[in-house]
């Protein structure tokens, strides 16, 4: 009966080690630790380290995670992951929920409600982000990366390319990549 720990962060700028320390501070001596750096939008089955954990974990082992959203992308994914683990008689402990048997009827109900709330929170975050981008655009703010060339440089590039200058020579002349020059001089399809 081994204790497995699993952590996930979305970017390499975040530290998964905090999740491991939280699990160990809760009194669990993790024998096997797995961690993914992958977006929360990826299903559990698409995460390389989670797949490896799932291949290694056995009957009567315990899986400990710090938060529910570490187990899946949305409510159906979390529930499917818990179900797959329950079929193997793996005890799943989510520190965020306290000691709760996720395989029991009450545990399944609590899990479904919490997973649905977590999914709703993610959806609301996306909605707020989209609203903020739309507002910024309506206010005339330029979104995205600033252009690498000025309007005058783009006009000059187009003229010189029309006279026969090569893409490479234009890239060297304006100190930009060939792909930047191609974007400028290639007519846009409508």
Residue 139 has φ and ψ, to the nearest 5°, of -80, 0
Residue 27 domain-assigned (yes or no): yes
The model's pLDDT over 96-148, given as tens digits with 9 standing for 90+, comes to 887 666 767 877 787 778 777 877 888 888 899 999 999 999 999 988 888 88
Which domain range does residue 164 map to? 151-185
Residue 133 domain-assigned (yes or no): no
The model's pLDDT over 60-103, given as tens digits with 9 standing for 90+, comes to 999 999 988 888 777 778 888 888 888 888 888 888 887 666 76
Residue from 53, 40, 33 nearest 14 by CA: 40
From the candidates 10, 39, 166, 179, give the one annotated as an active-site residue: 10
Residue 141 domain-assigned (yes or no): no
136 vs 122, 125, 131, 186, CA distance in Å? 21, 17, 9, 29
**Domain with 90 in it: what CATH number?**
3.40.50.1390
> Residue 181 has which token pair?
């020059």
158 and 87 part of one domain: no
Residue 138 domain-assigned (yes or no): no
Residue 169 bears catalytic tag: no
Residue 163 domain-assigned (yes or no): yes
């Amino acid at each position: 009966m081994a204790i497995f720990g699993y952590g996930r962060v979305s970017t390499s700028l975040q530290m998964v080690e905090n999740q491991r320390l939280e699990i160990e501070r809760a009194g669990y001596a993790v024998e096997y630790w797995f961690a993914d750096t992958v977006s929360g939008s990826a299903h559990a089955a698409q995460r390389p380290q989670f797949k490896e954990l799932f291949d290694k974990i056995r009957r009567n082992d315990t899986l400990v995670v710090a938060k529910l959203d570490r187990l899946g992308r949305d409510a159906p994914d979390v529930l499917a992951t818990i179900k797959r683990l329950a079929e193997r008689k793996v005890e799943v402990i989510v520190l965020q929920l306290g000691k709760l048997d996720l395989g029991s009827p009450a545990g399944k109900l609590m899990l479904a409600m919490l997973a649905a709330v977590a999914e709703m929170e993610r959806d609301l975050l996306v909605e707020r982000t989209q609203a903020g981008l739309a507002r910024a655009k309506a206010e005339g703010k330029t979104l995205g990366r600033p252009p690498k060339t000025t309007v005058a440089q783009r006009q000059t590039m187009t003229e010189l390319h029309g006279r026969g200058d090569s893409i490479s020579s234009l890239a060297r002349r304006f100190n930009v990549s060939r792909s930047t020059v191609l974007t400028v001089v290639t007519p846009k399809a409508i």
